[in-house]
Amino acid sequence: MDFDDTPDEAAFRAEARAFLDANRPRKDRARAAPRYGEVDAAELARAKAWQARKAAAGFAGITWPREWGGRGGSPMQQIIWNQEEAGYDVPYDVFLIGLGMCIPTLMAYAGRPVLERYVRPALRGEEIWCQLFSEPAAGSDVAGLCTRAERNGEDWVVNGQKVWTSGAHFCDFGLLLARSDPAVPKHAGLTAFWIDMKAPGVEVRPIHQMSGGSHFNEVFFTDLRLADRQRLGAPGQGWKVALTTLMNERLAVGEPRRPDIHDLIALARAVAIDGRPAIADPAVRLKIAEWWADSAGLAYTRFRTMTALSRGQTPGPENAIAKVVNAARLQAIAAYGMDLLGQAGAIADPALAPMAGLFQDGLLAAPGQRIAGGTDEILRNIIAERVLGLPAEPRVDKDMPFNRHAPAR
141 sits near a second copy (criterion: CB under 8 A): no
Size of site (CB under 8 A) for a second copy: 8
Closest separation between CB of residue 215 and another protein, Å? Answer: 11
Which span sits near another protein by CB under 8 A: 64-72, 114-122, 134-142, 236-244? 134-142
With CB under 8 A as the contact rule, the residue among 13, 53, 205, 285 that binds a second copy is: 285
Q: Which does 154 bind (CB under 5 to 8 A by kind): another protein, a second copy, none?
A: none
Q: According to CB under 8 A, which residues from 243 to 262 bind another protein?
A: 262
Q: Are 99 and 123 in contact (CB under 8 A)?
A: yes
Binding mask 15-54 for another protein (x = CB under 8 A): ----------------------------------------
Q: CA–CA distance from 51 to each of 47, 147, 174, 298, 320 (Å)?
A: 6, 33, 19, 28, 28
Contact between 191 and 147 (Cβ < 8 Å): no
| Interface segment toward a second copy; rule CB under 8 A; list 12-20, 281-289, 323-331, 365-373 | 281-289
d(CA 290, CA 292): 5
- By the 8 A CB rule, do 269 and 340 touch? no
With CB under 8 A as the contact rule, the residue among 43, 141, 172, 249 that binds another protein is 141
Is residue 164 a contact residue for another protein (CB under 8 A)?
yes
- What does the DSSP assignment read for 141-185? -GGG---EEEEETTEEEEEEEEE--TTGGG-SEEEEEEES-TTSB
- Smallest Cα–Cα separation from 2: which of 310, 267, 342? 310
Q: In the set 77, 134, 165, 326, which binds another protein (CB under 8 A)?
A: 134
Cα separation of 255 and 284, whole Å? 24
Binding mask 282-321 for another protein (x = CB under 8 A): xx-xx-xxx-xxx-xxxxxx-xx-xxx-x-------x--x
Distances (CA, A) of 1 to 5, 149, 309, 317, 377: 12, 52, 15, 22, 35
Give the footprint of a second copy on this chain (CB under 8 A): 281-286, 394, 396
Active site residues: 249
